[in-house]
Chains A and B, each alone.
Chain A
Amino acid sequence: MLRADNVTYVHDRGRDAEGVAPAPILPDAGGPALPGVLDVSVRVERGHVVGILGPNGSGKTTLLRLLAGMLRPESGTVTLNGRNLASLARPALARSIAVVPQETHLAFDYSVLEIALMGRYPHLGTFELEGPQDVAIAREALAATGTLALERRSFATLSGGEKQRVVIASALAQQAEILLLDEPTASLDLGYQFDIAALLARLNREREITIVVATHDLNFAASLCRSIVMLSEGRVVAAGLTGDTLTSMSIQALYGVVADVYPHHAAGHLTVVPLRRVRRD
């Protein structure tokens, strides 16, 4: 289980992951929140798929980076199965938690297989080269994401959806038990969004990988996530099973949008239909 207990983090505006100006104080967030401060407790059960929702600048990316151990909290602890992430060395951390960024831009061009093999980094010694076993793991990860046929292709020539699946394969090659994804479908068209959702659901089902995904796409979250954490201005305003959390009321409070939320009989999960914009209060 991955959990953050009373974790606080002050956004350094120069480094702020989302690059958004600090939010004003929210009256009902419980206590006086300082501008640009994250103050949260989150529990991610093993084998769950958890969605992190919230408007721009609410701290989703910062929370993901804290959960990944890439940022150190100012107070509170982030623990994985009872062990404080701060006590783990970087490679050990990377063997447990893998991260998929929103988009990947390479400075130099690598082949698809080379990108997948980069996931083996935390498993190799300083001067160790990948062996046949590492290549087998990387190719298997490519196969799992449906990109094995592309293994010789140059990464730069792939489409957005193919790139995202290759990056997920690279994260899978880390053989981590937890996968954190930051808006994995943000720049993808509907077809690729569907592919990514299906892929993540399958990875969770077949490999029991715990998945935490920050997203703006409520229907994507509804189709995929077992539970939801709602962030607003650095605080958790709602958390729980998707059916209990994703409601018209919470969506209006979070985004200032009136939406209809109902179970869709064909999709088999909740569906969110935004209706109109209202002032946030």
Chain B
Amino acid sequence: MTDVRRRLAVSALAFGGLAFVSVLAAPLIGTTSISLRRVFDGSVPFADNVDAQIFFIARLPRALAGAIVGATLAAAGVVFQALLRNPLATPFTLGVSAGAALGAMLAITLRLHLSLWGVSAVTAASFIGSLGAVAIVYAMARARRRGFSTNILLLAGVTLNAFFSALILFVQYLADSAEALRTMRWLMGDLDIAGYGPILAALPLCAVAFAAFAWLPRPLNLLSLDTDAAASRGVDVLRVQRVAFFSASMATGAAVSLGGPIGFIGIIVPHLVRLIVGSDHRVVLPASALFGAAFLVATDVVARTVMAPIELPVGIITALIGGPFFLWLLVRQR
């Protein structure tokens, strides 16, 4: 067995196990304590099984949403970092999450309830918003042939974030106050969803994005050498960049439409994963997705319980962890 096969197998097992356990354990924790044995007790019909009802109806959707959003944002972070050849690039720091949030906000405020091929208007608008933001970032990266310096990257992100935030505030200002309060909570990054509907709405885009992610890791490895070096080893650079750009936007759009612009997952998770498994994207990408799922589900448990009975939006917790982490990375670079 070669090195990459072994690392892939070990990391998939370890991080996959972690994700599975967190999704299963998270619904057990909460103000009403329930037991896993009673949840899966087949002798009691579901209608009478209070534990099973709390588990499957009240809490599991939230854990699953956390897993999907965490996996998607972490994987999108990996792809953005490879695409822009900068380990500080993430959906959140680039302003892509803010673009997606603006799109979703517009759809929510304008009460667009259409749905096409199982993709809801909110998800689609969120995708379009993220695509617009990435298009700006990508155009800037291409205009500067040598790619992005960290300075330009961060400045572009700060600018886009401020710009989209202003538009979001504007939309919010025009909306009625009850709506504004609801969207405010969502904007903080919140996984408090009702039932499985929102998950199903975001799933098609996630599926397409992850199908693209499955194809990307090998060319992304070569892109981290140099675009010219990648081309000379047989990579169709332009096509890879387009696919990466599109699929990562799609993933961000889907994740934001489900959980709001939850920050810093895309940088904390890939970075920790690289410390453990190295830089090979064939291992980093799936491992980051699995670890991202486990990480966000666990963080959400903290958000739900730390000030119980008040449930905090999980975005507050990830930002509290991620902000200092990001600054530490920035200082440590070079």
List residues of chain A with CB under 8 Å of any chain B CB. Answer: 14-15, 65, 68, 70, 90-95, 97-99, 101, 104-111, 113-115, 118-119, 121-122, 124, 126-127, 129-132, 134-135, 167, 170-171, 174
Task: Please tell me if the beta carbons of A90 and B234 are within 8 angstroms of each other in the complex.
Answer: yes
Stretch at the interface among B54-62, B244-252, B274-282, B308-316: B274-282
Q: Contacts A108-B279, A129-B2, A130-B4; is A122 near B225 (CB within 8 Å)?
A: no
A129 contacts B5, CB within 8 Å?
yes
> Is B231 within 8 A of A118, CB to CB?
no
A124 to chain B, nearest CB (A): 8
Q: Which 5 A-B pairs have the closest CB atoms?
A: A94-B234, A122-B234, A99-B232, A107-B85, A91-B234
Q: How far apart sit A92 and B2, CA to CA, in the bound complex (Å)?
A: 25
**Docked CA distance A14–B146 (Å):** 11
Q: Which residue of B lies closest to A119 (CB)?
A: B233
Q: Across the interface, do A135 and B2 meet the contact criterion of CB distance under 8 Å?
A: yes
Number of interface residues of B (CB under 8 A): 34
B68-100 interface (Cβ within 8 A of A): 81-82, 85-87
Q: Is the CB of A93 within 8 A of B234?
A: yes
Are A121 and B222 touching (Cβ within 8 A)?
Answer: yes
Contact B225 A130 (CB under 8 A): no
Chain B residues lying within 8 Å of A97, measured Cβ to Cβ, are 232
With A14-B145, A114-B280 in contact, do A101 and B226 touch (Cβ < 8 Å)?
yes
Residues of B near any A CB (own CB < 8 A): 2-5, 8, 81-82, 85-87, 143, 145, 214-215, 218, 221-226, 228-229, 231-236, 274, 278-280, 282
- Across the interface, B82 reaches (CB within 8 A) one of A92, A107, A135, namely A107
Residue numbers in B under 8 Å from A119 (CB-CB): 233
On whether the beta carbons of B234 and A104 are closer than 8 Å, the reply is no
Given contacts A107-B87, A114-B280, contact A130 B2 (CB under 8 A): yes
A104 with B229: CB separation less than 8 A: yes
Bound-state Cα–Cα, A257 to B186, Å = 70
A129 near B215 (CB under 8 angstroms)? no
On chain A, the residues within 8 Å of B228 by CB distance are: 65, 70, 99, 101
Q: List 22 A–B pairs whose Cβ atoms lie within 8 Å, in order of A's numbering.
A: A70-B228, A70-B231, A90-B231, A91-B234, A97-B232, A98-B233, A99-B232, A107-B85, A107-B86, A107-B223, A108-B274, A108-B279, A110-B279, A113-B3, A114-B278, A114-B279, A118-B225, A121-B222, A124-B218, A127-B215, A132-B2, A167-B229
Which residues on A sit within 8 Å (CB–CB) of B85?
A: 107
Contacts of A110 in B (CB 8 A): 221, 224, 278-280
**Given A90, A115, A126, which contacts B215 in the complex, CB threshold below 8 Å?**
A126
Hey, which chain B residues are within 8 Å of A126, CB to CB? Answer: 215, 218
Contact indicator A118/B222 (Cβ below 8 Å): yes
Q: Complex: how many Å from CA A136 to CA B280?
A: 19
Q: Which of chain B's residues have a CB closer than 8 A to the CB of A104?
A: 225-226, 229
Contacts of B224 in A (CB 8 A): 106-108, 110
Which of B2, B82, B86, B234 counts the most A-chain CB atoms under 10 A from its CB?
B234
Hey, which chain A residues are within 8 Å of B223, CB to CB?
107
The distance in angstroms between the C-alpha atoms of A80 and B271, with both chains bound, is: 43
A90 nearest CB neighbor, chain B only:
B234
Residues of A within 8 A of B3 (CB): 113, 135
Q: Nearest-CB distance from A32 to chain B (Å)?
A: 29
A98 to B235, CA, bound (A): 12
**Are A118 and B232 interface neighbours, CB within 8 A?**
no
